[in-house]
Amino acid sequence: MTGGQIIFLLVALFTLGSGFMVVTTRNLVHAALWLVATLFGVAVTYALLDATFLAVVQVVVYIGAIAILFIFAVMLTRKDMRDQGPQMNANWWIGALLSVLVFAGLFFLLQGWSGLSKTAADIPAGFDSIAELGNALVSPTAYVLPFEVASVLLVAALVGAVYVAFNRK
Amino acid sequence: MVPLSWYLIFAALLFSIGLFGVLSRRNAVAILLGIELMLNAVNINLAAFWRYGDVLQMAGQVFAIIVFAVAAAEVAVGLALVISVYRRRNTVVADEINMMKW
């Protein structure tokens, strides 16, 4: 086993463990903090995949904005259910069964695929993935239209969120 | 070198954990936490396919960035709905939010 594999396994175990804590912890503030740990593990996974820009955006957008938004929402909906009643609904075992079945199905599908044991080719010398990504996002021959549609969607969703959560009095 | 299958199985496991959270938690905010885990698992797959496929084609990373934007929009609207429901009904338990149930 090489060093890269050991690092990947450690990161994966950490991420999956904190992901499991997110869905099982009783205290929601703790669940949101475990989510931060999971997102950080995913950011390290991006770094292992040489997707450096994605790793930075993961930390800035996911941990810096989305996870903090979750913590705010948990605090605004206090009187939370920490002490009263179960955190899982009565059919939680059906959910567990379904997710095990989904994993088994995905695993079965992956088993039959020939490209599975592929290893990554070296990145060509002088290849700057961040510059390439920036060019691809604004180039008319590449992805400028999906990029603009995503930004319009984001504006519309945020205006809608302000409208929905607005307190009319 | 880590083979592609390790990343795909890791992402499948993270997706299943998120699915379990979505299906079995009672708190609406906790359900949104599960959705975040599922979106992250998908993003790992996109980044892994970019790295193990043709590195010169940026489609995988571009798609992952658009998923980031959609996830931010989804969280903003979802949490606004939860806060709005909490203000009117004083609950965030998904079973008790049944105004539109017949």
Residue A74: CB atoms within 10 A of its CB come to 23
| pLDDT beyond 90 at B96 | no
CATH value of A1-82 in 3.90.1150.10, 1.20.120.1200, 3.30.420.40, 3.40.30.10:
1.20.120.1200
**Average per-residue pLDDT in chain A?**
86
Confidence of residue A84 (pLDDT cuts 50, 70, 90): low
CB contact under 8 A, A153 and B73: yes
For A57-75, write each residue's pLDDT tens digit: 999 989 988 999 899 888 8
User: Interface pTM (ipTM) of the complex?
Assistant: 0.90
pLDDT value for A81 = 54
For residue B32, what are the CA distances in angstroms to A5, A48, A134, B43, B74? 32, 27, 30, 17, 9
Residue A103: CB atoms within 10 A of its CB come to 18
pLDDT value for A35 = 93
Report the number of secondary-structure helices (H) and strands (E) in chain B: 3, 0
> Cβ contacts (< 8 Å) between A158 and chain B: which residues?
73, 76
Q: Please, how many CA atoms are within 13 Å of residue A106, restricted to the half-sphere of its CB?
A: 21
Rounded to two decimals, the pTM is: 0.90
Instruction: Write down the domain spans for chain B.
Output: 4-93
Rounded to a whole number, what is the distance in Å from the CA of B35 to chain A's nearest CA? 11
> Cβ contacts (< 8 Å) between B17 and chain A: which residues?
16, 19-20, 22-23, 99
Confidence of residue B45 (pLDDT cuts 50, 70, 90): very high
**Average per-residue pLDDT in chain B?**
88
> Cβ contacts (< 8 Å) between A157 and chain B: which residues?
72-74, 76-77
Q: What is the percent of chain A where pLDDT is above 90?
A: 40
Task: Find the CB nearest A39 among B9, B17, B40.
Answer: B40
For A93-140, write each residue's pLDDT tens digit: 898 999 999 999 999 988 888 777 777 777 777 788 888 888 888 888
Considering the domain B4-93, what is its CATH architecture?
Orthogonal Bundle (1.10)
CB proximity A95 to B under 8 Å: yes
Nearest alpha-carbon partner for A41 in A61, A19, A23: A19
